[in-house]
Structure 1
Amino acid sequence: MSTYFLSLRIKGFGNTSLFWGECWMAVKSGWWEMKRSLSLKEDDYIPLTSALEVLYCPRNFYLRYVEGVDVKDWKMERGKVEDEQRRKTVYIGERVQRRQMRLVSDKLGISCLIDAIEDDGGKIYPIEFKTGEVSNRLYDRAQLCAEAMVLEDVLGVRINKGYIYYAESHKRIEVNFDYKLRQHVMEAIELAHDILLGNTIPPPLDDERCRGCALVNVCLPDEVTKLKSGYDKVSAYTMPVLWRERILYVDDKWAKIGYKKGRFIVEKGSGEVFEIPCEAVNQMYLVGSVTISNRALSSALRRDIFIAMFSSKGRFEGMFIPERNKNIDLRVAQVLFCRDEGKCLKVARSIVYGKLANMKTLLLRRNRNLGSKRVLQSIKHISALLKALKSKDSFEEILGIEGEGTREYFSAFGDLITVEGFDFERRSRRPPRNRVNAMLSFGYSVLTAELVGIAHAVGLDAYIGPYHRSKYGKPALALDILEEFRPIIVDSLVLYMINKGVISLSDFDIQESPQRFVFLNESGRKKFIRQYNSRMNSLVKHSLFGYRVSLRRILETQMRLLGKVFTGELSEYKPYRAR
């Protein structure tokens, strides 16, 4: 048991009331240190800044430290730049400041990077540099106090105060390390270790702190609270995530992509060259004979740019995926969940329900002005299947319902097309045998590739899913989420492009032998991708949560919600339903 504070008090530091308070904290600290030592390995040190996240939000700590979520807002980026500029030793009169000192405390089980340690004639003080104006935030004072406690453990000296320098105010504020502040630090570090050892995600706060939080789109406080309790206490104003919405699409024969001074250089086969800043790109879609240099490829991956490759006939070939997420626990939970047939059955039923419901919605929307009796018949049939689905308790029955509903849906799909030359009787693939099927197949391939990228970005394995059975090379999880979005993203886009004259017969090529094969040519693919990207970036009102976000953001949200079902935070998966 540690008696460090007790021995210091006997030497005559401070007043009596504070002395007894610190005696108790020494006993508590010693007990907790012993408890921690039985559970943690010697190298399990939590970074101080991570541990103190629990003062702001315990869930924030879990997401950043346990799940490895690395999302930064502009304040964090600005602070990082300023820290890099301060990495040196500074002499201020008789005082010496040693900057960016990394230390470890065995007693506290934490590591820290102290902005500066000041030696003023033998007296040691920690110093923290903060952006912004002078503030009395508990986190700032607790961070400085914790750094002093680490220094005390390392140097064996007593440190009673330190300083925080606020850049915008140009003021240096003294902070005294009293018993109450030290107790806050000890409780925060203890809670951080308990969360780490328990490996259970804390519930969302869902209060004013959620507004403006950098992790709001990962934490999903509004969504989790509403799905669990049926209501949302405080809206966190979830906004679209822009990191996946800037796409570089290259579909030009013999085009080459290179890199120079922070810019991607695209040289077309015709010799035309254009440049684009790397920061303006979040995804690349490369089609056909497009090549990319090793330097451009490595630069893209370092910047978390997802790259999807397609054949000249629109078939999804593969991808380059940056190393965004290292959350092993989430993937283990996913594997264990998908091995439990009972749990998978429940999710499968929800996925198929969402698919059929969205098929019905599309037929209703498109038939408002047409009044087709054939479409009305299909709507009634799908409605009956939705009711029957609720009582199905085997994969065979659920697959049967889905197959029957899909056949009924596509039997009426051709009635929604009003332009000649785009005949459609039934769904055909591998290969698509008419123009409508060519568009559907290409659209499904693009959307699948995007979902694979989203799955990896949120920390899931795109090839293990609860509904589609895992097979070699089959992105089962991406296909699971794809099902509910086929009608409202790809199918509706195909109908729009045909009926509005956006695409024409000249945008297709036909191969007659050895069997008929229809596919979008280069001009057709470019038109499709342009409209697809516009559709994905458009804002829609979420049917369950009520906010307006892009369809891309909704895809990500659904993937994250399914991940929370895997970990047990949510009891059931709610599919997205269009209105």
Structure 2
Amino acid sequence: MTSLFVDRRGVVLELESGAIVFRENGERIGTVPIAPLSRVFLRGDVKLPAALLGKLGEQGVGVVILSGRIGRPSLLLARPHNDAVRRVAQIRLSFDEPFCLQIGKTLIERKLTRQIEWFTELRENDMQVRYELSHALRALEEHWPRIGHASSAASLRGVEGSAAARYFSGLQAVVPNSLHFSGRNRRPPRDPFNALLSLTYTLLHSEIAIALYGAGFDPYVGFYHRLAFGRESLASDLLEPLRPLADQFALALIRKKVLEKDHFSTTEAGCLLGKAGRTRYYAAYGEHSETLRKGINQEIEWLTAQVNEIMATAEDDVRSEDDFEDFG
């Protein structure tokens, strides 16, 4: 399965015999079959009919509309999973604080594991930053027992925040100095690498929300990230262990010179990737999307197993009560 990115002003999309036809100024300029698509990303002045949106939804293809200069995402979800029981169980479990805390601990442990594994690999392959990465690795490893000892979601978020600060200090050592990266900043990002991280996190978050919806979950009801108006909290939950994969992708784009400083522009509104850079980025993201989606699917399969286990236990308890006879 693959992604389709459309970032071209004035293009018109049409449905024709199971394919998307592209027209510009009335002339046909391309055709893409719908069958291999899993996501469609639209940005800019793009027009398409309701029939095409309906066909994409019917085929399980989620549509992400990136609007405005910063590309704020709006999701058009595909046909949902038919089993509402899973969503009911999810909502009930969202009020179970011990369950939510355990889910949060597992997610942050996996995030920390990926960060440590990646930094260990970078340290072995780049002697110039060996000291900085060794220092960051020691700091990250010190957070392992603190995750297990966290007694509440608030204390766990404190551990996560502390680990993130150490992580980005190590990441600063491997990002080229020309990009002026000095740690994570956002809303708006103020340097090219942070702009790249924000864009990748945004796309990945949208992919997770669409996949959760298709798997029968409500993306807005989280366990680690609690309810917040307008936020897909469960998608935010599953994004955490996948962030290191996004970071690796972003750094690879810079190191392989797929993207360079000139592809970005900085104003008072922040640092943004320009049109030429977005074209390069979308092509690279499309090539890498299978790796990212594999990670998404693994996280959703794990979450499904956790919820199903609780559901099965609850069903057993109900059956036990039904079998009990009161002889009083």
- Fold equivalence (TM over 0.5): yes
Aligned to 1:343: 99
Q: Is the 8 A contact 1:334 1:563 kept in 2?
A: no
Deviation of 1:564 (Å):
2.3
In 1: Cα distance, 2:289 partner to 2:262 partner = 25
> Deviations 1:431-474 (Å, cap 9, x if unpaired)?
00000000000000000010011101111111111100111110
Aligned to 2:265: 509
Q: How many residues align?
A: 310
Q: Secondary structure at the match of 2:179?
A: coil
Q: Is the 8 A contact 1:357 1:386 kept in 2?
A: no
What stretches of structure 1 move > 6 A for 4+ residues in a row? none
In 1: Cα distance, 2:223 partner to 2:71 partner = 25
The 1:431–1:393 alpha-carbon spacing in structure 2 relative to 1, beyond 3 Å, is same
In 2: Cα distance, 1:570 partner to 1:297 partner = 35
Aligned to 2:272: 519
Q: Is the 8 A contact 2:132 2:170 kept in 1?
A: yes
In 2: Cα distance, 1:396 partner to 1:259 partner = 49
Q: Secondary structure at the match of 2:149?
A: coil
In 2: Cα distance, 1:280 partner to 1:340 partner = 40
Q: Secondary structure at the match of 1:359?
A: helix
The 1:269–1:354 alpha-carbon spacing in structure 2 relative to 1, beyond 3 Å, is farther
Which one of the candidate residues 243, 251, 261 is aligned to 1:495? 251
Which one of the candidate residues 179, 188, 192 is aligned to 1:422? 179
**Where does structure 2 lack aligned partners over 5 or more consecutive residues?**
313-328
Deviation of 1:314 (Å):
4.5
1:382 aligned partner, one-letter code:
L
2:293 aligned partner, one-letter code:
R
> Deviations 1:323-367 (Å, cap 9, x if unpaired)?
231211000110111111111011111111111221122222222
**Where does structure 1 lack aligned partners over 5 or more consecutive residues?**
1-244, 538-549, 572-579
Which one of the candidate residues 108, 116, 124 is aligned to 1:368? 124
Farther-moved stretch of structure 1 (297-306 vs 440-449): 297-306
In the TM superposition, 1:368-407 aligns within 5 A as 368-371=124-127, 372=129, 373-407=131-165
In the TM superposition, 1:25-64 aligns within 5 A as none
In 2: Cα distance, 1:270 partner to 1:504 partner = 35
Aligned to 2:196: 439
In the TM superposition, 1:278-293 aligns within 5 A as 278-293=34-49
Q: Secondary structure at the match of 2:30?
A: strand
Which one of the candidate residues 288, 305, 315 is aligned to 2:61? 305
In the TM superposition, 1:97-496 aligns within 5 A as 245-268=1-24, 273-371=29-127, 372=129, 373-418=131-176, 420-487=177-244, 489-496=245-252
Which has the larger Rg?
1
1:381 aligned partner, one-letter code:
A
2:257 aligned partner, one-letter code:
G
Q: Secondary structure at the match of 1:259?
A: strand
In 1: Cα distance, 2:163 partner to 2:149 partner = 16
In 1: Cα distance, 2:286 partner to 2:98 partner = 37
1:375 aligned partner, one-letter code:
L
In 1: Cα distance, 2:125 partner to 2:142 partner = 24
Aligned to 1:146: none
In 2: Cα distance, 1:377 partner to 1:268 partner = 54
Q: Secondary structure at the match of 1:273?
A: strand
In 2: Cα distance, 1:292 partner to 1:411 partner = 45
Aligned to 1:137: none
In 2: Cα distance, 1:560 partner to 1:331 partner = 15
Q: Does 1:567 align with 2:315?
A: no
Q: Quick one: percent identity of the two aligned structures?
A: 23
In 2: Cα distance, 1:391 partner to 1:570 partner = 27
Query: Normalized per residue, which structure has more helix?
Result: 2
> Deviations 1:232-288 (Å, cap 9, x if unpaired)?
xxxxxxxxxxxxx22221011222211123321122479562112222323211112
The 1:570–1:439 alpha-carbon spacing in structure 2 relative to 1, beyond 3 Å, is farther
| RMSD, matched Cα | 2.0
Q: Secondary structure at the match of 1:509?
A: strand
The 1:570–1:327 alpha-carbon spacing in structure 2 relative to 1, beyond 3 Å, is closer
In 2: Cα distance, 1:458 partner to 1:445 partner = 20
In 2: Cα distance, 1:289 partner to 1:561 partner = 39
Q: Is the 8 A contact 1:348 1:466 kept in 2?
A: yes
2:272 aligned partner, one-letter code:
F
In 2: Cα distance, 1:387 partner to 1:255 partner = 54
In 1: Cα distance, 2:199 partner to 2:89 partner = 33
1:477 aligned partner, one-letter code:
L
TM-score normalised to structure 1 length: 0.51
1:307 aligned partner, one-letter code:
V
